[in-house]
Amino acid sequence: MSTSPTSTEGLLEHKAGYYARLIELGYSTSAAKKQRQLLVEFATWTQRRRIPLADLAGAETEAFFLRRRAQGRANLRTPLSLDPLFAYLRHVGALAAPVSCAPTGPLEVFLAGYLSFLTAERGLAQGTAHMYLRMAGQLASEHEGDNGIDWTSLRAGDVTDFTRRACQGQGVSWARQVVSALRCLLRYLQLEGLTDLALDQAVLSTAGVSPPPPQGISPAEVEALLGSCDCQSATGRRDYAILLLLCRLGLRGGEVIGLMLDDIGWRSGEVVVKGKGGRRDRLPLPTDVGEALVDYVCHGRPRTDDRAVFVRHCAPIGRIGETGTIRSVLARACDRAGVAYVRPHRLRHTVATEMLRAGVPLRDIGQVLGHQSAAATAVYTRVDLDSLRVVARHWPEAAA
């Protein structure tokens, strides 16, 4: 195998740049030195095996790390330890970006097309799309044969039986998700001409009690959550701004992490929120929220080229990738404030119920929350019991 340039020479010439990049990404000096030393050792190992620099990402490196573990190394002991190095080499153009393998089998091709439909056409959130995709994969695998997936043989009885098995032993909430996922899939099959039957009609609605009215938290609990943040620290400034967006604007977790610097109109006092279904809503930016964002961006946000408003404060510094981080921010605030843990969606309910009690019309509440239908907002009318008592008919007294 050719060694021009040799992997040792190619890697070692990046040693200084790699170290500087790690420091830039927030790694401590100690951690960056360990990664730099790993680069030197890995370069020597690849040279012995005559692995060209261009082939490093595809090389089998388990033997290298097996040797490190046998030597009793306390850290950087698995192939995942090379991910920061490969990311840097791609960043500077020394290593080609990984090529995603095109789907080959009938099931993979179908699921790839369906995922594209869910994200591009339906605009589903990532988590919802993958749940729908999992249901589709399970049903498709049951009808996969030597000639591909035979959707024409699918009948209402098959759909009913699959629904029963998918929901067995689960709660009402899960059953409702399964029903929604199957209806979406079956409508897609008819839309694509893979079946002539309207099988979505075979998916019956889930039986069960109506869900309770949306439950918010009290204004005192909201203030306790906000007051628990240490706004003298960088992380505290970030968490305070995140909680304000949840408590004042009722944003979803995904909408918070998807917020970009360019989405904020600093002069106009507006913010563009990218919601479900590709929806983009322009909302007024309350004064306290705007001040918290300015404080974080100017005095707390780490330096990074990423345009996301909220980023990680530990290495590698970059945008927050999962909504779980938002839940963690809220969980820590609840713990500090002595408030029972609440999900981000309950803060969304809090915003809606407070607006309703203040006399804000449902249409305006739905616009703030980014609802696509009036029915989604109408559930909050069940919360305002005082207003419902005015329109409720008097129950006649029982005859003496």
DSSP string, 81-115: GGHHHHHHHHHTTSSPPPPPPPP-SHHHHHHHHHH
pLDDT at 371: 81
CA distance 191 to 113: 13
Overall pTM > 0.85:
no
Percent of the chain with pLDDT over 90: 56
CA distance 189 to 341: 41
Residue 316: asked if its preceding bond is cis (omega within 30°), the reply is: yes
The range of the structural domain enclosing residue 47 comes to 7-91
pLDDT tens per residue across span 33-77: 999 999 999 999 998 888 888 788 778 889 999 999 999 988 999
For all residues of the chain together, what is the average pLDDT?
87
pLDDT tens per residue across span 288-313: 999 999 999 999 999 898 999 999 99
pLDDT at 221: 95
The reply to whether 49 and 73 lie within a common domain is yes
Buried b (16+ CB within 10 A) or exposed e, 36-47: bebbeebbebbb
pLDDT at 264: 95
For the chain, the domain total comes to 3
Flag whether 51 is in a domain.
yes
CA distance 285 to 249: 8
Q: Which residues does the annotation mark as catalytic?
A: 252, 276, 345, 348, 371, 380
The reply to whether 35 and 119 lie within a common domain is no
Flag whether 392 is in a domain.
no
The reply to whether 226 and 327 lie within a common domain is yes
Which residues of the chain fall below pLDDT 70? 1-9, 99-102, 208-211, 381-400
The reply to whether 176 and 148 lie within a common domain is yes
pLDDT at 42: 93
- Dihedral sign for Cα atoms in the order 11, 12, 17, 18: positive
The reply to whether 129 and 240 lie within a common domain is no
pLDDT at 3: 42
Flag whether 27 is in a domain.
yes
The reply to whether 325 and 234 lie within a common domain is yes
The reply to whether 313 and 246 lie within a common domain is yes
User: Which runs of E-coded beta strand occur in the chain?
Assistant: 144-145, 148-149, 264-265, 270-274, 280-284
CA distance 85 to 39: 8
DSSP state at residue 311 = B
Residue linked to tokens 């119920």? 353
The reply to whether 156 and 245 lie within a common domain is no
CA distance 18 to 31: 12
Domain end call among 91, 121, 139: 91
Flag whether 213 is in a domain.
no
Flag whether 66 is in a domain.
yes
The reply to whether 306 and 257 lie within a common domain is yes
